[in-house]
Amino acid sequence: MSADRVERFFRRLREEIGNVDEFTVEVRRNEALGQVRLGEDFYVFITVPWSDDEYYIEFMMGDENAVIQPRHMGLLDRAVEIVKRAYALSREELGV
């Protein structure tokens, strides 16, 4: 049941954020990692770990090492918009 709720959360998020370069989700035993690629090497990473029916959400952004380079400045507003939408949706779907 927990993985199902997390997968539903990521499906809804994908629909709501609209056009991005790439959106992938990897679900593991008690954690899911979503990667939203906004540019050639700029991502929003969304991690949703859970235990039973208790969920958490964590965010990182930047390149594959979560580093934000000067060339990424034009993508920051969009990245923050995605983080805010993901947080709001996690409260609705997962009770974070």
What is this structure's pTM?
0.94
Q: Could you report the per-residue pLDDT of 21-46, keeping only the tens digit for each?
A: 999 999 999 999 999 999 999 999 99
**Phi and psi, residue 42, nearest 5°:** -130, 130
Rounded to the nearest 5 degrees, what angle is found at the Cα of 6, between the Cα atoms of 37 and 52? 140
The number of angstroms, rounded, from the C-alpha of 92 to the middle of its chain's C-alpha atoms is 15
Structural domain count, the chain: 1
Tokens of 44: 């929003």
- The pLDDT value given to residue 48: 98
Residue 1: pLDDT over 90:
no
> What six digits make up the tokens of 72?
């990424």
Q: Residue 11 belongs to what domain range?
A: 2-94
